């Protein structure tokens, strides 16, 4: 069985594809089947999720491209930017993973959250689409492609200064 164990930035040849929905691309250790039907073991360092287009090298040197599988999602659109911002705020407040698109938001299908955004004035369309949620403000890399995140760095704990910590006191 082929073991996929290394992310790479580029390859001159891609030998196969690994088509997975988001829920499986969040995992770094699993068994799966390539598009050709060959079984593979995924054994990557813990951390960043697999993103559509990522390249993985196997233990035998073959390269596999990750493809985001279509899955049940909702397209959330609003007539005005304020309503869309409200939807994004309330979804984020519930730690919902979202894909930010130029036309609105995409989220995984969840009837309770659909009803909430409908109540906020959104239009919601069911769709079968590849889901690529935002990496998040504290992600180690922007979209998992090895680039530094343009978002907030992980906050460091600040030292608490007490009067007894001052030299000479």
d(CA 25, CA 126): 22
Q: Residue 105 is encoded by which pair of tokens? A: 């938001």
Report the chain's mean pLDDT, rounded to a whole number. 86
Question: Is residue 149's pLDDT more than 50?
Answer: no
Q: Is beta strand 16-20 parallel, antiparallel or unpaired with respect to 63-68?
A: parallel
> Residue 165: its pLDDT value, please?
52
**Superfamily in which the 2-68 domain is placed by CATH:** Urease metallochaperone UreE, N-terminal domain (2.60.260.20)
The half-sphere exposure of 21 on its side-chain side, counting CA atoms within 13 A, is 10
Domain boundaries, the chain: 2-68, 70-130
Question: Is residue 169's pLDDT more than 90?
Answer: no
Look up the pTM and report it: 0.76
Per residue in 17-51, pLDDT (tens digit) is 999 999 999 998 999 999 999 999 999 988 878 99
Q: For the domain covering 70-130, report its CATH number.
A: 3.30.70.790
Give the pLDDT band of residue 90 (cuts 50, 70, 90).
very high
């Amino acid at each position: 069985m082929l073991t996929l164990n290394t992310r790479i930035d580029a390859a001159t040849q891609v030998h196969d594809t690994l088509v997975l929905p988001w829920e499986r691309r969040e995992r770094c250790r699993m068994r799966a089947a390539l598009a050709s039907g060959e079984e593979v073991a995924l054994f990557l360092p813990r951390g960043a999720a697999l993103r559509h287009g990522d390249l993985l090298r196997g233990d035998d040197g073959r390269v596999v491209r990750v493809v985001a599988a279509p899955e049940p999602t909702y397209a959330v659109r609003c007539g005005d930017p304020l309503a869309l911002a409200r939807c994004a705020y309330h979804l984020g407040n519930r730690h919902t993973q979202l894909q930010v698109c130029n036309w609105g938001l995409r989220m995984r299908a969840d009837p309770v959250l659909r009803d909430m955004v409908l109540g906020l004035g959104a239009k919601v369309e069911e769709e079968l689409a590849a889901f690529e949620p935002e990496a998040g403000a504290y992600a180690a890399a922007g979209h998992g492609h090895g680039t530094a995140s343009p978002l907030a760095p992980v906050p460091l704990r600040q030292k608490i200064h007490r009067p007894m910590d001052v030299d000479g006191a």
